[in-house]
Chain A
């Protein structure tokens, strides 16, 4: 690029980015390094952290609770993706059309998007109440003996999966709606001329054209599921037993209830490495970082 010096006078320097960058590095990036350091220490939150070498990490590899937490987190992540993606994709593509009912429906659709996970988890905790909740009523109708969904390990896990899906599907629906809106109608017209049916059109045009959206949504979904915390704390407190103690909750329990902040830092570091690796992998695999347009070659 050849730029005459005259033209450059109106340009800001990189210095304009410094305040924002420093602020971000101080509160988000530096803590990434500090948490790594803390994972090699013992710290109760009051005195100074004392260096204990790889003690925490040795303990981490042999900790059954941690192993189970990792397994639960991975299971929750995979099930979250399998549960939320088809629904959000279907709803998003549908909402991108021009139905008249859409405006009304979307107003209700997006309500869960506005509320905090605390508020929604509280609502669902009430609904799942074994004595007063909706499931008590349904169990009553069906003559079931137990309505204590949150009291059984599988039920509690399913409840976390469902409540988080209920909360986040609207967000992913919006992402897919935006993506689907940008697909040129001419592609569908051409396919229709070639005699492609609606199902073929979906798989031959809609899905490939939504590639970038699928990557964005999946990264958000996976990192989100690996870090679900609010919902678990309010809905199940990690229980019954350790049935819903996923990694972020284990970290909270270890760090801020047992005040074993050194070991909790090791758990957090493992979490950060996993989340970053997964999202980098997803981004690399799909070439998303190049910001390539799906419109190329049309």
Chain B
């Protein structure tokens, strides 16, 4: 081991201690979250959030699942899949065009999307409400899907432009020599070469759609079109005195996305680290 490596390791001690402290700060609430859900209401009321659950019961989960939770889950799934599909198709074509046209116009398009990164959805929710009502889409799942997808586009275009930059000019040339048109180049060269970027974009837009709250809150109303986040918000009233059930609903809303994370961990982490490195 060289001196420098040892030095770096020594530097990590205070940072490592801070990391451990932060780990505790993250882990304790998560422990409370899970431990609270596996006890009965009376046991939670008696023992408080930090105690080890005396009797193990999954009854709180049953209370949640017997209600409207499954419907909220299905709605969220529909919204998530639709958003990811729209974002992938549109962001791939936009990024492909930006990377391969290289005109002043395409640079402008890229700049528009870069500036779009800074548009907060909160600031434009009123006009979006106006647009959605004018389109007669108020209180439909489409009312959530369309704006959510639109707001995922800027970061997706940014990520895909980044990964399409890595394709060598020679590879395009050899395909062009074969007489391939732009669609075939996209399908046979660009898409396979940027599979990593595309899955990152898919994961991001899915995560954003799954966790989105403002658009469902403003743009839907009825129980039939309620998504998970809005359902959780509604549970504050419904399970006001049933904290194990309330937190069980929280856990149930995280489990699907956590399962997906276990499979798509690399895409998510690499994508985020890539944004920071650029």
Residues of A near any B CB (own CB < 8 A): 1, 6-17, 19-21, 23-32, 34-35, 38, 45, 87, 90-91, 93-95, 97, 99, 105-106, 108-112, 114-119, 122-127, 129, 132-134, 136-137, 166, 169-171, 174-179, 181-182, 185, 188-189, 191-193, 197-199, 201-202, 212-213, 216-217, 219, 223, 226-227, 229-230, 233-234, 248, 251-252, 255-256, 261, 264-265, 268-269, 271-272, 275-276, 279-280, 289, 291
Contacts and interface: CB of A to CB of B under 8 A. Distances in A.
Interface residues of B, number: 112
Contacts of B115: 276
Contacts of A268: 122-126
B243 A91 contact: no
A27 B150 contact: yes
A122 B272 contact: no
A27 B150 CA distance: 6
A123 B29 contact: yes
B64 interface: no
A11 B100 contact: yes
A265 B253 CA distance: 33
A32 B8 contact: no
Contacts of B184: 10
A116 B211 contact: yes
Interface in B215-262: 218, 228-229, 232-233, 235-236, 243, 246-247, 250, 253-254, 257-258, 261
Interface string B166-196: 0000001101100111101110000000000
B125 A122 contact: no
A96 to B, nearest CB: 9
Contacts of A212: 277-278
A93 B15 contact: yes
A226 B120 CA distance: 9
Nearest to A256: B218
- Tell me the interface secondary structure of chain B in the complex: helix
A13 to B, nearest CB: 6
Contact of A229 (B122, B124, B172): B122
Contacts of A199: 11
B276 A114 contact: no
A71 B30 CA distance: 33
Interface string B130-157: 1100000000000000110111011001
Contacts of B81: none
Contacts of B58: none
Nearest to B123: A272
A6 B177 CA distance: 8
A14 B109 contact: yes
A175 B275 contact: yes
Contacts of B150: 23-24, 26-28
A179 B213 contact: no
Given A11-B101, A213-B276, A229-B214, 17 more contacts: A21-B109, A24-B150, A27-B128, A27-B131, A27-B151, A28-B116, A94-B16, A108-B23, A115-B257, A119-B253, A134-B32, A137-B49, A179-B273, A192-B4, A213-B277, A216-B276, A226-B120
Question: Which 4 A-B pairs have CB atoms at the shortest separation, nearest pair first?
Answer: A178-B273, A175-B276, A27-B150, A116-B211
A136 B48 contact: yes
Contact of B45 (A132, A179, A202, A275): A132
B176 to A, nearest CB: 4
Contacts of B269: 106, 110, 174
Contacts of A110: 261, 269
A164 to B, nearest CB: 14
A252 B214 CA distance: 10
